[in-house]
Amino acid sequence: MSSATLEIKLSRPSRIYCPSEPLDGKIVVKSASSISHRGVRLAVNGSVNMQVRGGSAGLIESIVGAVKPIVIVNRIIEVRPSGRIASGTTEIPFSVTLKQSGNDNHDRFYETFHGADINIQYLLTADVTRGYLHKSLYTTMEFILETDKAELLDQPASPEMVIFYITQDTQRHPLLPELKSGGFRVTGKLSIQCALSDPISGELIVETSAVPIHSIDIHILRIESVLFGDRIVTETSLVQTTQIADGDVSRHLMLPIYVILPRLLTCPTTLAGPFSIEFKVAIVISFQSELSKMQAKSDPRTPRLWMAMETLPLELVRTR
Amino acid sequence: MEFRPRNYKQEKESHALHRTRVDDHPLCTPSTSHRQVVGEHHTENFFDPLRGPNTNVGEAFHNLPDEERTSGGFCTERDNQHTRDWNSFKRLLMQRFPISKMISISSISDGIMKSNKVDEISSTSSRLEELDDPQKSAKEGNASITRQEYVFRLNDFKEKIVQAWHSEDRVTALKFTIKVARLLMDTSVRQFYPTLFVLATDVMDMLGDMVWERIKQKAEFTVDGNKLCFLAENFDANGVCVDAKETCNNWFYKVGSIEDLLPRVYLELAILPCWRFLLIQPADCLHRLVKMIRGLADPLSSAYCCLYMVHRARKLLSRDTAYLITCMNDMNILLMDALSLKRDVSKTCVEKRRLLISLIEPTIEYIVHHIFEDTPKEQLANALVNLGIGGKGDNKVVSCLSIVAHCYIKELPADMVRSKSKEIINLIECCNDCSLDKSLNYRLLGFRLSETTSPQDMVDVVDHVIQVVLLWGKLDEYLRVMDAFLDLVLQNQMGNHILNVLEGIAMQARDKAFTEEELGSLQSILVKFVSHFEDLEELFALNHYLEILDMMYGRPRSIVNMHILDRAIRKGLWHDPHIIQLLFGISKSLIDEIDQTSMMDYDYQQPARLITRFVSMVDYGSDVERHLAFLVECRGAFGCINELKEALVHSSNSLAIQGLKHSNKQFSFIMSCIAYSEVTIPSISSPMKQSNLYIETAEVALLGGLVSHAEGLTESAVSCLQSLVVNGLPGIADVEGILSSFQKLCSLLVMVPWNKSNIGPSLNYAPKSLFVFTDSQSKLIPRTTTRLFSAIILLSAALSQEILPYNANNFGIPGNDQLFYGDSSYSQELASISQLAVQKLVDVIQWEHSSDARGIMALEACNCIASSFRTSPETSIICVKLLETAKLCLGAHDKYVKSTTKFLETCSLTSPDAEQEGI
């Protein structure tokens, strides 16, 4: 039984790197006895994995199939030629730069993203190959890729704010009769172009509402589209819900909208050929109603009789 | 045995200490130089009890500053100060809202229920019920849990969090903390909410501090433990390394992703201090957070969330209070919504509102306190404007809740209350809600205004307030407010207003019985008058004052009465008959009230003392007859006060003496004084006191020439003593008392002339009866018996002298020396009594068991006999025998034995033959 362990340690605890930056780190081998090997290798792997599920594309419900992944980067470096690793702890440093100066335009380094249907992931794999009699040592670690600072735009001069109104008349789904008759009006503004490092900001004012409000929530939605054959399959899913009002808040009082974007689950809005990742923000007002108590748990995106909502597109950008 | 002849005059002169004049009164505080002189001259262990502690006091003063320096808080950090404040605030909060044993919680609090696995069965069964009747369970979605259980589970959470943290599982620690924070969403626990808040925020504080420490560690040290830098107390984000910032950011990301608003805000507040690692001006976050709290529609959770914000914000070392002003204004709006009449007005709802207000009040108080404490002085005015106090336009509609206004008035610096008094009145006027009665705000304003004595003129304010309050036409409110403003009015000598206040009360109180609360306010008001007017005449001259006092009843009235009397006895003697009559009336009503209610000793003592004191301070001057009439009246009115009757006897006796001094003719007046005393004394309960008073009265009677009265009185005195002994074993104090009364009586009897009867001179109540008394009690109190017999012997010896040691000649009463000296039957009588006494004396000593006591008794007796009788074989034998007894008991070297031996020697020097005879 070999007691050797392998570990990758990156220079940054956050594991966030840009393509043009050197990815520094070390492979740490801990072993009770010395190990002879046929080389220590490090593989850098980046790919876009997509899948298509049933759902909005009703036709292909049965074909839950993986789409061929797009390889962003795939490189193997020999960090150490075959030889022997002494017993104890051995650190083998490495440094890789993803973006090679020769072919800039060839690969596009999408940012790391973990979605429902689309996964953009970068992995480092270290392995120590040994003889027939021995199992090779092997470890994997994910690192996070962010777009190069040099390529980025400066912060948008003025964050684009849109003004929204939510009233009984702006709703496209049926409402409770008391909501229809009593009426309500919620206004506000929201930044719809937003830097990933900043919160989504805005404000909201409940001007009138005859029916007491139960809750106001901000949903961040992602829209993942995948080119599947000659069709584009689009799936919308919920990323994060943030409540901004709990209960029947005072009228005419400005409530701030402040939503921190979750890492990994969001990335810059991406429109690539074979796939696209877009975001939306939905402001959902739920009113107090006996009906809502009966069905407490439900998908917040489903329009309900006691809810009013407004969905706005959200462009996420990486800024300097 | 023959009596020793004495020359008292000569003896006095020879024994008197040499007298020298001094410049200072011995009891007045001595100048240091003088004291030193004294010290040099008398180096023996001289201890003056009145002077002793002086040196210690000086030392104590020297020590004081040192102690203050060590305990005083200059070196302590501001942070520590805040922690202490917060801890005491939390304690108060928990004490203020005692909680019932069972806490009913709604389904939101299931975090606390889920941790319990025992309840699983019941929860599944309740779920089944839920399916049956969903509406029912929706209504009754409350569960109950005991208080201990709740607290226990919270502590359990706390332990789990600490455990998780230390096992590097910080995400779990955070998750548990979020669970705890979620508990605060359930405001249905009402009364328990403050306690819950304290417990939950403890947990959150703990997590916040752990996060802070972790990031600080990261900023100061590398992973390997090498020192990176040192963050000073007031560091800023510039000095923090990227790694620490990254970790810090992660925490804010984690917290930011919490779905529910309330736990998200609480958790961000818990780690709020960590913004200092990221931002140059971390306090800016507060402006966002305070607005985020607006999203909490429940006033209770919102208010407590704000409270937590204030607490955590202190850690940002910022003195910015703008966010607090926003916070207060928001809270105003929120509470106004919550209290507005649009929601139902049923009785339970009113109750609920009241509870809500009382639950929220401490939070408002705390926040307002910090606004006024942290805002720099020069910005305070501006802050007030922002809070809606005193804007530019007077027409501006200020919207403010009474309870909030109350806190403003309470917490504002006193000088600001003065300078902004008009604006504050406006503010109070604009409050029209049920959270607090308007009059309470006026009342508080009154108290606050009287705190400082700035020269600013408050007349307008007082005028205005009086008018406004009068317009309400409610007596209780009027009294409540006036009580507070009275300090101000009295302080500033606003004469007109004093009258206005009283008139207002009188006007509104007419034809109306006071309620308990009104009486309380009235009491406070009238007492304030008493303590303000040093001169009672001035007080009684105030229009309506006495009228109002008359309208009062019960205990409050008694308290006012007592204050008046207390004032009365401090002033000195009372001469004015009108005032005396008023005070008498007050005393009378005081005692009547006590009679009606209770006779508890405690209630009784103070008034009794006051009345007694007052009665003894009445002085009609030369109009002694009127004074006596007053005393008679007093006895009628206050017959139940023992203490007083004693004072009455003293007064009447001194009246008699006064009458005696003024003119000898008023024999009948003295008679009536004595008669008054004689009648009064028997009603006094303590025989000891009775006998003393009898003796005193006897003295007076004797001086007044009423010899037969005097005799009768001494007789009564003895019978009182007798009754003391008869009624069982007297206590030690009584024994002492009996002894001293007896001795006093004996010394009085020296002056009482004997009767000339047919059979010769005889005293109606002669030493004989004293002898009988002594003999009768000797078994009960043997130790004093020797002294009693000694007194009889000494009395007889004194009476046998050619010139009595003192007499009452000045008052025209002949002494026994003039009457009977040389009369054989007279001296025979004396001799026989004293002989008997000597015999008894010797016997009594033999009965004593304790040898120490026996020795001392023997010596006392020996001294007495030696000084009373001429040296003779008979006396010598007795004395020597007594001395032997004493030597046996006390030893030959005892000081007393020695001095007695010496004394015997000086006595027997005159007749050396006696000694020879003895041999």
Contacts of A294 in chain B (CB under 8 A): 134, 138
**Domain-located, residue B200:** yes
**CA proximity to B637, closest of B612, B659, B654:** B612
Cβ–Cβ of A13/B243 closer than 8 Å?
yes
Which chain A residue has the Cα nearest residue B285? A258
Tell me the residue ranges of DSSP E strands in B114-233: 143-146
Chain B positions touching A262 (Cβ under 8 A) are 253, 257
**Among A residues 148-207, those touching chain B with beta carbons less than 8 Å apart:** 199
Q: Are A153 and A319 in contact (CB under 8 A)?
A: yes
Q: Does B287 touch chain A (CB under 8 A)?
A: no
Asked whether the beta carbons of residue B294 and residue A250 sit closer than 8 angstroms, the reply is: yes
Q: Give the pLDDT confidence score for residue B256 in this predicted structure.
A: 92
Residue B192 lies in a domain: yes
A255 touches chain B (CB under 8 A): yes
State pLDDT tens for residues B154-168: 888 899 999 999 998
Contact criterion met (CB < 8 Å) for B256 and A247: no
Residue ranges making up the domain that contains B100: 78-278
CB B539 within 8 A of CB B530: yes
Amino acid letter, residue B11: E
CA distance B547 to B510: 10
Q: How far does A85 lie from chain B, in Å, by closest CA? A: 24
Instruction: Measure CB to CB from residue A246 to each of B257, B261, B291 and give the nearest one.
Output: B261
**Half-sphere exposure (Cβ direction) of B545: Cα atoms closer than 13 Å:** 22
**Residues in chain A, overall count:** 320
pLDDT attached to residue B130: 41
- pLDDT of B33 reads 44
Whether A108 and chain B come into contact, CB under 8 Å, resolves to: no
Question: Is residue B258 included in any domain, yes or no?
Answer: yes
Chain A contact set for B259 (CB, 8 A): 217, 240-243
How far the first Cα of chain B sits from its last, in Å, is 19
The per-residue pLDDT for range B587-606, each reduced to its tens digit, is 888 888 777 766 555 567 88
d(CA B499, CA B532): 14
Q: Spell out the residues 6+ positions from residue B626 whose beta carbon is closer than 8 angstroms to its own.
A: B577, B620
Contact (Cβ atoms closer than 8 angstroms) between residue B714 and residue B749 = yes
Task: Convert B364-403 to b/e letters by CB count within 10 Å (16 or more is b).
Answer: bbbbbbbbbebbeeeebeebbebbbbbbeeeeeebebbbb
For each of chain A's 320 residues, which pLDDT tens digit applies?
Answer: 456 888 999 988 888 898 888 899 999 999 888 888 888 999 999 999 988 875 544 554 445 566 788 898 888 998 888 888 888 898 999 998 888 765 555 568 899 999 988 999 999 999 988 877 778 888 999 999 988 876 666 665 566 789 999 999 999 889 989 999 989 999 999 998 888 888 999 999 999 999 999 999 999 999 999 988 788 888 899 999 999 999 999 898 999 999 999 988 999 999 888 899 999 999 999 998 887 777 655 666 778 888 999 999 999 988 87
Is the Cβ of A237 closer than 8 Å to some Cβ of chain B? Answer: no
Answer whether residue B153 is part of any domain: yes
**What is the predicted pLDDT for the residue at B139?**
40
| Domains delineated in chain A | 5-147 (2.60.40.640), 161-317 (2.60.40.640)
For the segment B2-25, what is each residue's pLDDT rounded down to a tens digit? Answer: 788 888 888 888 888 888 888 877
- The verdict on a CB contact (< 8 Å) between B253 and A13 is no
Instruction: Evaluate whether residue B341 is within a structural domain.
Output: no
Whether B265 is covered by a domain: the verdict is yes
pLDDT at B274: 93
Residue among B290, B291, B330 with most chain A CBs within 10 A, to mutate = B291
The residue of chain B with its CA nearest to that of A250 is B334
Predicted local confidence at residue B757, as pLDDT: 58
Residue A244, chain B, CB below 8 Å: the answer is: yes
Could you tell me if residue B260 is inside a domain?
A: yes
Question: Does B296 contact A at CB distance below 8 Å?
Answer: yes
Which chain A residues are closer than 8 Å to B243 by Cβ?
13
Residues of B in contact with A256 (CB under 8 A): 288, 291-292, 294
Instruction: Report d(CA B739, CA B688) in Å as an integer.
Output: 11
Instruction: Identify the residue among B253, B294, B342 best suited for mutation to test binding to A, counting A beta carbons within 10 A and taking the highest.
Output: B294
* Residue B136, domain member (yes or no): yes
What integer pLDDT is reported at residue B484 of this predicted model? 86
- pLDDT tens-digit series, residues B460-519: 888 888 888 888 888 888 888 888 888 888 887 777 788 888 888 888 887 777 888 888
Number of domains in chain B: 1
Nearest C-alpha in B relative to A14: B246
- Whether the CA torsion B801, B802, B806, B808 is positive or negative: it is positive
CB contacts < 8 A (A, B)? 76
Name the closest residue on chain B to residue A248, using Cα atoms: B297
State the complex-level ipTM.
Answer: 0.91
Residue segments in chain B with a per-residue pLDDT below the cut of 50: 32-49, 51-76, 115-140, 394-396, 764, 909-919
**Partner-chain contact A250 B264, CB within 8 Å:** no
Which among B246, B259, B291 is the nearest to A254, CB-wise?
A: B291
A113: nearest Cα among A309, A300, A275: A275
Which residues of chain A are within 8 Å of residue B297 when distances are taken between CB atoms? Answer: 213, 245-250
pLDDT value of position B230: 82
Pairing of strands A137-145, A16-17: parallel
For residue B116 the two structure tokens come to: 């319990």
Asked if A216's CB is within 8 angstroms of B295's CB, the reply is: yes
Neighbours of B126 (CB within 10 A): 14
Q: Does B133 touch chain A (CB under 8 A)?
A: no
